Amino acid sequence: MRWIKVMIAVAGLLAPAEYTRAQTDNALAYETVRPSRIKVGESATIQVTSFGRLKDIQLPTIPGLAFEEMGRSEGFEFLNGTPIPATFIRIRVTAQFPGVFTIPGLTPSSQSIGLEVVKGDEPNPYAWRSQMPAPPPVVPASLPKGAQLQAGGAAFVHLGIPTRAVYVGESVPVDIELGLRPGIVTSVNGLPTLTGSDFTLNNLSKQPERREQAIEGSTFVVLTWHSAVAAVKAGDFSLSAETPVTAKISTLSAADRAVASRLAWPLLQSMYNGIAPKDITIASSPSALKVLPLPTEGQPKDFGGAVGDFQVSSDVSPASVAAGDPLTLRLHIRGTGNFDRVDSTMFDHLDHWKTYPAKSSFTPSDAVGYQGEKVFEQPLIAAQAGEQSIPGLEFSYFNPNTRRYERAQTPPIKVTIATSLDSSSLNALTGVQSLNGAFATGSMQGLRSDHPPPQYWVSELRPLYFRAPFLAIPTTLALILAGSWFAVRPNAARATSKAAERALARLDAAARAGDSSSFFEAARKTLLQTFAARWQMPADQITFAELKARLGATGEDVGRLFALAEEARYSDYQPGSTDFQRWLALIRGELAGERE
Amino acid sequence: MRASKIPMLIAGLALWAGQALAQPSQPRYSADGLYNLANSYARAGKPGLAVLSYERAALLAPDDPDINANLAYVRASAHVSMKPQNRLARLAQVTNPTSAAWLGVLGIALVGIGLVARKVAPRFLWIPGGGILLGVALIAVTASNAILLWPRMHEAIVLIDQTPARVSPAPMADTAFVLREAESVTMTAEHEDFILIRAGGGLSGWVSRANLGAVVPPVGGERSEAAASRLVSTDD
């Protein structure tokens, strides 16, 4: 016993230092407020619980809330069955106006808390909360059969499987229950799994069922998953489920706890440091399961591995179609079992029908797909018109209840196939409704009839005059014509001839009238214009010498004519008719020479 | 001699060009074919495609009474109003656009030949003068036909009922107004898969290209007019 005295002495020496360290440490603490919802003017109580010696705390300043320390006390908190010394501080908080307040943690290690303050004379703004059904009372219960508490009594796992023997491939429902003590088990880190590789586990239900139960004096939250397992081979197996969780458990050994319990309380304060969250895996007790092989005797040739209890039926839609139009044949398989092995190829070949590959869809009626309905759909097209019969469909499976293979068959189906394809198609076409509903069936009676088949086609709807290749044609044509207009010269001879004829007509008229003045003046003017055009020179520059040089002897006659014109202007010269004719012949001769 | 050869040259060139344009390598459209197709769409309860086909048929045969009657009937059945046409427009559109195009060429030829003839032969001036007047009249017919048809080059038909016209060319843009099936709109701009249209009453909005069918498909094929493409392929 000597070593015990030595230990006590050492502990006595270390106690002051330990005490000081505890004062400065941020001791684990938490806060609660009750009630969490009050009216204006009412008060709630905040209790601060600290696992260590707590210095004076600083009351917060929050507009709308008044804080007042009511007192402090020291005692023990029981954690995992172990008494832990703790300090309690009680604070009264009084509401001054409504609102939702967040009160910060009053110690460095405590979390903030919320407080709702409502008016006393108005409807509850959070009525939806108060209208929620009250939580069910915690039901006293016992541990499931075969289950054992683990993690220091904070959790358990139970696997519920059928006690009867099952067959290879048979899906059997299983329940996995996970019991947790809230506060001690802080989290579930994964879904339950089965141990062993000889079974397949279907997808677990998405959300586990949740209930609270009082088991062995403690409140447990029990989570239940539903699923189905199937054995892949025959034999005797031991099956269990396991789940990873995080739980607060003591990391000290039993000997350390026994020693520490004899020490003074300042040293015991350090014990909470030995209680820490830890990731562990808890497993259920093994359950025995006997798996039988499927019997080979009486196994149908078309057996595809379906094990369960099924019922079948079939239908077809539409019941009346035109030859060439498709219809859909459906096979419904309902019941319980391994629907993943339920399969049917429907009809590979059917006389007077064109068959297409079938497709299937499964609609579960429970959370794990153990119970439901699988539908196979196969498009068919009738090749002949008239009354047709679609043979019944068959489906083979093994029934574990009767322990033998069974064959389910649907009755034949009668289908009426219309004789006229065209009329049916036309009806289908005219039965199309537009979105606005304006075009009802048969509402186009006012349309004029169709035209004969077209004989003339064009490549483009755009008119010719908007197409560049066509525009090149009038453009080219216009350019050619414009060039021609500029290129072509007027016929000067013909123009002169007409002028000469007009001048001769005037001269002849003056000669017959005996108007010598007009005759000679017109003759002089006509000849001067003719000579000017012929010789390309101005008329006023044509002199007598020029006439003589260019016309020779005729030039002298022309000069005589010009002189008579001057004489007739200023004198009363009257030549005879013979003279007029001679001068006319001269002029006509000169003009005729021009025309040639 | 030179002047007498020019009309022959022009006539030969016009004949060659006309034959080249009148013999398409890939025949696709005909007034009767489009009319029959429109009737099928109308009986099937698709007024948008029916009106589009009638409009296209009317481009090729504007004076066909059956096309105009059925077009008016389908528009009335779809509760879509028709634009009233004035007398001048009806008169100008009696002429087939193809005929009007060649009449214009003939008018240019008459005017040009008349002018040249007046210069070459001053005698009997009333003959080239009459030709010039006739040519000008023919050119006027062609020009008025083109002017009246020009808006239809940018016209489109709404193929889907309750087609939203949006305030901007984006699928999630707000809807400015809603168009009825078989309604005629004018295309004014385009941006990616949206076309800016102007509907009756001066309303403008962006419409998805797939909901419209252009009366005159763009050159080189209907790029994104799914309905128009179906229309043409069926017609073929």
**Claim to verify: residue A214 and residue A247 sit in the same structural domain:** yes
CA distance B217 to B58: 14
- Same-domain check for residues A191 and A322: no
Of A129-138, A556-565, B143-152, the one with minimum mean pLDDT is A129-138
Q: A384 touching B, CB under 8 A?
A: no
Q: What are the distances in angstroms from CA A278 to CA A112, A184, A248, A363?
A: 25, 10, 6, 42
Q: Name the DSSP class of A264.
A: -
- Considering the domain architecture, whether residues A285 and A193 belong to the same structural domain is answered as yes
Residue A462: CB atoms within 10 Å: 18
**Which tens digits make up the pLDDT trace of B38-67?**
988 888 888 999 999 999 998 888 888 899
Q: Choose the weakest-confidence range: A75-84, A94-103, B155-164.
A: A75-84
Distance CA B177, CA B199 (A): 10
Same domain, A148 and A278: yes
Determine what percent of chain B is predicted with pLDDT higher than 90: 26
Contacts with B100 from chain A: Cβ below 8 Å: 463, 465
Q: Measured between CB atoms, does A63 come within 8 Å of chain B?
A: no
A71 within a domain of the structure (yes/no): yes
Spatial distance between the Cα atoms of B195 and A486, rounded to a whole number of angstroms: 49
Given A121, A148, A183, the domain boundary residue is A121
The reply to whether A144 and A188 lie within a common domain is: yes
What is the DSSP-derived secondary structure letter of residue B168? S
* A373 within 8 A of A332, measured Cβ to Cβ: yes
| Residue A68, domain CATH | 2.60.40
pLDDT of residue A425: 35
Backbone dihedral region of A427: left (phi > 0), alpha (psi from -120 to 50 degrees) or beta?
A: alpha
- The Cα A173–Cα A231 span in angstroms is 12
- Average of pLDDT values for A545-561? 82
Query: What's the pLDDT at A541?
Result: 83
* CA–CA dist A315, A390 (Å, integer): 10
Is position A541 within any domain?
Answer: yes
A143 lies in the same domain as A112: no
pLDDT in tens, A240-265: 888 888 887 766 666 666 665 555 45
Taking a C-beta distance cutoff of 8 angstroms, is the pair B173, B195 a contact?
A: no
Query: What phi, psi does A150 have (nearest 5°)?
Result: -130, 175
The answer on pLDDT for B29 being more than 70 is yes
How many domains, in total, are found in chain A?
Answer: 4
In a domain, A16, yes or no: no
Asked if A203 and A272 sit in the same domain, the reply is yes
Clarify whether residues A521 and A560 are in a common domain.
yes
Instruction: Say if residue A144 is in the same domain as residue A279.
Output: yes
Residues A164 and A265 placed together within one structural domain of the fold = yes
pLDDT of amino acid B185: 93
A40 with A161, same domain: the answer is: no
Written as one string, the DSSP assignment of A511-558 is HHHT-HHHHHHHHHHHHHHHHHHHHTS-GGG--HHHHHHHHTHHHHHH
Per-residue model confidence (pLDDT) at position A182:
76
Shortest Cα–Cα distance, A348 to chain B (Å): 35
pLDDT-based confidence at B197, cuts 50/70/90?
very high
pLDDT digits (tens, 9 = 90+) for B79-114: 887 766 667 666 766 778 888 899 999 999 999 988
Question: Tens of pLDDT along A205-221?
Answer: 667 888 888 887 778 88
Provide the β-strand partners of residue A380.
A327, A355
In this predicted structure, the answer to whether residue B19 has a pLDDT above a threshold of 50 is yes
Is A300 within the bounds of a domain? no
Does the residue A444 lie in any domain? no
Tokens of A578: 């013979």
Q: Quick check: B119 and A488 CB within 8 A?
A: yes
Is B146 within 8 Å of A466 when comparing Cβ atoms?
A: yes
Radius of gyration, CA atoms only, chain B:
22
Is residue A140 scored above 90 in pLDDT? no
Residue B187 CA to residue B210 CA, distance in Å, equals 13
Global confidence as pTM: 0.38
**Cα–Cα distance, A345 to A304 (Å, whole number):** 11
What pLDDT, on a 0 to 100 scale, did the predictor assign at position A16? 47
Query: Which of the listed residues A396, A418, A440 is the one where a domain comes to its end?
Result: A418
Name the phi and psi angles at A171, rounded to 5.
-85, 130
Beta carbons within 8 Å of A251's beta carbon, 6+ residues apart: A274, A275, A276, A278
d(CA A471, CA A478): 11
Q: Side-chain half-sphere of A263: how many Cα atoms within 13 Å?
A: 25
Residue A473 domain-assigned (yes or no): no
Looking at A391, A418, A445, the residue that finishes a domain is: A418
pLDDT (tens digit per residue) in A535-552? 878 888 888 888 888 888
State which residues form the domain around A318: 306-418
Quote the CA–CA distance of A129 and A35 in Å, as a whole number.
Answer: 15
Does B156 score more than 90 pLDDT? yes
Average per-residue pLDDT for chain A: 77
How far is A409 from B234, CA to CA, in rounded Å?
Answer: 47
- Average of per-residue pLDDT across A323-348: 83
Contact A153, A387 (CB under 8 A): no
Q: What is the pLDDT of residue A24?
A: 41
How many angstroms separate the CA atoms of A42 and A185, rounded?
36
A11 falls within a domain = no
CB-based contact (8 Å) between A432 and chain B?
A: yes
Any B CB within 8 A of A493 CB: no
Q: Measure CB to CB from residue B116 to each of A447, A459, A484 and give the nearest one.
A: A484
Q: Who's near A115: CB < 8 A, 6+ residues apart?
A: A33, A36, A37, A38, A44, A65, A93, A95, A100, A101, A102, A103
* Cβ burial, residue A452 (10 Å; 0-12/13-18/19+): exposed
In-domain check, residue A389? yes
The answer on A263 and A190 residing in a single domain is: yes
Q: Which domains are delineated in chain B?
A: 154-235 (2.30.30.40)
Contact check, Cβ <8 Å, A458/B30: yes
